[in-house]
Structure 1
Amino acid sequence: MEIVTLPPAEERHELPQRVSPSETGVTPQENMPEDRAETPTIPQVAQPHDETPAMVKPSSMLSEKVLADPRSRKARKELAALAPADQIEQLCGLEAMAQVGTWSKELRPDRVVAYAMADPKMVGNAFSADGAALHSKRDWFKLQFKCELTPDHKKVAAFEFLVGDPIPRKDWADHSLPDESGSLD
């Protein structure tokens, strides 16, 4: 997993904040020569057609409820024993399984591998896995997700995901995906 941190504020090269005309007391027309005082025409550029599917953005988070269930006592104990980076990955994977299972009637997720096809990234409070894999029944599916955590990294604050095509069985070994003959429970 790649953990990315932002440099201290004094080392960042941030753009200055935009100042509105009302804050300066000068309107745009006052800065223009008289012959250009009218509103300029901005040419419209045709945007390329974006065929990227939209991410599913659930309105409620489910991992906290799953972990609060008495049947998750062992999972809570094991999660607490992990290193902080692994806790984040497992918590977000749990959220992914719960969200996909709620979203789809066909999929029955029982495992997520966040690093299957690309290393996940951690930036601030956001864990993202663009190359994850999701196991359901007897297949692995491509999965992409972004998991926003609370500042203490103990709860999921926001989540979005996109389930992709099945991963061909011939590619499973290349991505360290176990060839299971059913669910992994």
Structure 2
Amino acid sequence: MIKTWSLAALALLSALPAHALDAHIVRQLDALAPDERREQRCDIEAMDRIKKDNKGEFKPDKVIAYTFSQPVEDGNAIRAPGAVFRSAGDWYRLKYKCETGDKGLEVMSFDYKIGSKVPREEWEKYYLYD
């Protein structure tokens, strides 16, 4: 139940800039295993950057790092070449590289590329939803 609640709390963070993680959110992230913490933190960063960098074109409310392929971790870095994000009810392909600090909370570097919209007829195959 804590993990479910943690993930729900993380979804609410999408509107917050990366530097705005408050103590409550840090506690929620700390409750996760290190690899889950890093992935969730990088997903939050992806939503923040996409929203900020694309000046209102996208309003991401969900990122899934493993839709088309599993993320690859290397120390404090994670590469998610098969990620997706949801914006205004549509899903888009996403690739990102993210490096966090030792605790997985501070994002040290982040780079991403938005891909094509995922056709609705493929959503069921990849477990995507409205």
Q: Would you say same fold, with TM above 0.5?
A: yes
Q: For residue 125 of structure 1, what is the aligned residue in structure 2?
A: 76
- 2:125 aligned residue: 174
The size of the alignment, in residue pairs, is 113
Query: 1:80 and 1:152, CA in 2 relative to 1: closer, same or farther beyond 3 A?
Result: closer
- Asked if the contact 2:26–2:105 (Cα under 8 Å) also holds between the matched residues in 1, the reply is no
2:58 — aligned with what? 107
Please give the alpha-carbon distance, in whole angstroms, between the structure 2 residues aligned to 1:166 and 1:109: 13
Match in the other structure for 2:47: 97
Q: Give the 5 Å matches for 1:54-69.
A: 62-63=17-18, 65-68=19-22
Q: Does the CA contact (< 8 Å) of 2:41 and 2:104 recur in 1?
A: no
* Structure 1 residues 154 and 76, CA gap change in structure 2 (3 angstroms): closer
Amino acid of the structure 1 residue aligned with 2:117: P
Asked which structure has the greater CA Rg, the reply is: 1
- 5 Å matches for 1:119-158? 119-158=70-109
Cα gap change, 1:83 to 1:151, in 2 (>3 Å): closer
Taking a change above 3 Å as real, the CA distance of residues 125 and 76 of structure 1, as seen in their structure-2 partners, is closer
- With normalisation by structure 2, the TM-score equals 0.80
Query: Deviation digits for residues 8-42 of structure 1, max 9, x if unmatched?
Result: xxxxxxxxxxxxxxxxxxxxxxxxxxxxxxxxxxx
**With structure 1 as the length reference, what TM-score do the two structures score?**
0.58
Encode CA deviations 1:29-64: one digit per residue, 9 max, x unaligned: xxxxxxxxxxxxxxxxxxxxxxxxxxxxxxxxx52x
Q: Which amino acid aligns with 1:157?
A: M
2:36 to 48, 65, 86: 86
- C-alpha deviation, 1:155, in angstroms: 1.1
CA distance in 2 between partners of 1:126 and 1:76 (Å): 19
Give the Cα separation in 2 of the matches to 1:66 and 1:108.
Answer: 18
Instruction: Tell me the C-alpha RMSD between the 2 structures.
Output: 1.5
Q: Looking at secondary structure, tell me which structure has more helix per residue.
A: 2
Aligned-partner SS, 2:125: helix
Specify the code of the residue in structure 1 equivalent to 2:50.
V
- The amino acid that maps onto 1:100 is I
Counterpart position of 1:27: none
Structure having the higher strand fraction is 2
